[in-house]
Structure 1
Amino acid sequence: MARYADPGALEWVESGGGPLIAVPETVLPFWAGADSEELDTDYDRACEVDGYVGLLPVGDSAALVFGDEPASTSYLPDHGTFVRWSAANSEDELLAKIPAALDAAVWAHEIRWNVPGPVVLFDSAWPGGAAEGEEHLRVPLEPGPYAVRAAYARPGPETWVGLVQLRRLAD
């Protein structure tokens, strides 16, 4: 994983240029990425997602696609938020601005995501079976429904961050 600070508080996932995706572990083998003989690959479907986030069917579940720009992304469990690094001088600077970013965010509409358990964040071009090693991030979500909302915030003159917040809903 790319680390932007020494020693680095978070593990960051990057893409080769396309969208990142969070796929439930239970359906990882069903995500083919760009490796498919179909005319429209799973990666192509991920690239067609409009806006900051969207859902795509995968097996008997759904994956969360991180649209817009292929920013380095990590997860802050204390805030239930994926953080997308658009601009900051350091990881420390970015993390220090997260509370202000969350307060100032103008959130897009919410979507509902039913999660069967932990998810894996990785480059959507890769097949799910290859989402191992250093270029992925396992996020231990509890099974159930979540409200997902996204925003971009500029909490400082040189700090821009994308936010994708998950809020657990009652079953």
Structure 2
Amino acid sequence: MASYADPSSVERVEWVESGGGPLIAIPEVVLPFWTGADGDELASDYDRACEVEGPVGLLPVGNTTALVLGDEPAATSYLPEHGTFVRWSAGDPEDALPAGVPAALATAAWGREVHWEVPGTVVLFDAASSGAGATKAGHLRIALTAGRYAVRAAHAEPDPESSSVGLVRLRPLGP
């Protein structure tokens, strides 16, 4: 996991990277059920995650669902102030992110919406890893309020000459 300092604050943005496949955000309460690329099944959990088409999709894990961040194995962070996963595609993350996120959100062309029910905190990590190993290194723990979220993805270029990002926005839905 890489970290970059945001020049406008003292906080660091933590990035999760994959070995080439999708990233997955799994509710913390069902992490032990995710076997990653290992497992006794004919098709592993990682194989199931790789079958998700498009930038986002949902997979059952235990008695809940996980959010798969597909399309490309981009380094990803979560910016809670925007309720958005930011997927760094090109450019310098120290210069472009997170300062360019508001402009990217304003100009993004959003894709189809999926609804994700979460019981609370989720962990973002490489889908090839097991849930048990995900909390040791290369993960990001994200405190979400339990509930239902509308999830939409987009690609944006906050600075077309130097940066390109994927966005996955979580919007809480009312009861």
TM-score scaled by structure 1? 0.96
- Counterpart of 1:159? 163
- The reply to whether residue 129 of structure 1 matches residue 132 of structure 2 is yes
Q: Which moved more, 1:57-66 or 1:130-139?
A: 130-139
3-state secondary structure, aligned to 1:3: strand
Work out the CA distance in 1 between the residues paired with 2:93 and 2:65: 33
Structure 2: gaps of 5 or more residues: none
Deviations 1:2-38 (A, max 9, x none): 1244887211100000000000001101111011121
1:25 aligns with 2:38: no
Please tell me the residue identity of whatever aligns with 2:171: R
Which residue in 2 is equivalent to 1:62?
65
Aligned residue number for residue 77 of structure 1 = 80
Count residues with an aligned counterpart: 171
Question: 1:141-167, CA deviations, whole angstroms, 9 ceiling, x for partnerless residues?
Answer: 000000000000012111100000000
Tell me the C-alpha RMSD between the 2 structures.
1.4
The one-letter code matched in structure 2 to 1:19 is P
1:147 aligned partner: 150
Cα separation, partners in 2 of 1:114 and 1:90, compared to 1, 3 Å: closer
What does 1:76-95 align with in structure 2 at a 5 Å threshold? 76-95=79-98
1:14 matches 2:10: no
Paired residue type of 1:2: A
User: Would the aligned equivalents of 2:91 and 2:162 in 1 still touch at CA under 8 Å?
Assistant: yes
- Judge conservation of contact 2:96–2:158 (CA < 8 Å) in 1: no
- Unaligned 5+ runs, structure 1: none
Q: Is the 8 A contact 2:115 2:151 kept in 1?
A: yes
1:98 paired with 2:115, answer: no
